[in-house]
């Protein structure tokens, strides 16, 4: 009996470690052929849990990121998603560059 419980506990711990130890970062491509080293940058961030709930709701968009950076003319946009536990926890960032 104790051996079965120990075996099940070890299997559960192994499964949790294997599933939650992976994290991926997915960055969108920047579509620009010019160098904008002096450009302003604005960010909007949110956390999505279980794909159902977002910490900022609809506030994580290009318009909000431009507003946060004081940008009136957008030159390019970058999206960054950091996923943990196969997408159970996602940190989504929208970066906007411009003048």
**CA–centroid distance for 55 within its chain:** 12
Measured CA to CA, the distance from residue 94 to residue 71 in angstroms comes to 14
Domain membership of residue 2 (yes or no) is no
Residue 51: domain span? 23-98
Nearest CA to 81 among 48, 32, 56, 58? 48
Measured CA to CA, the distance from residue 67 to residue 88 in angstroms comes to 29
Domain membership of residue 73 (yes or no) is yes
What is the value of pTM for the model shown?
Answer: 0.61
pLDDT given for residue 8 in this prediction? 86
- Per-residue pLDDT reduced to its tens digit, 14-62: 776 666 645 555 555 555 555 556 679 999 988 888 877 777 666 678 8
Higher pLDDT, 58 or 76: 76
pLDDT given for residue 33 in this prediction? 52
Band of residue 66 on the pLDDT scale cut at 50, 70, 90: very high
Number of domains composing the chain: 1
């Amino acid at each position: 009996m104790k051996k079965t419980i120990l075996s099940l506990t070890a299997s559960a711990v192994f499964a949790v470690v294997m599933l939650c130890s992976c994290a991926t970062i997915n960055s969108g491509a920047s579509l620009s052929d010019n160098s904008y080293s002096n450009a302003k940058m604005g960010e909007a961030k949110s956390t999505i849990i279980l794909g159902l709930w977002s910490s900022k709701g609809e506030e994580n968009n290009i318009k909000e990121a431009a507003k946060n950076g004081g940008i009136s003319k957008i030159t390019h946009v970058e999206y960054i998603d950091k996923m943990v536990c196969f997408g159970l926890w996602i940190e989504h960032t929208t970066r906007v560059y411009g003048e």
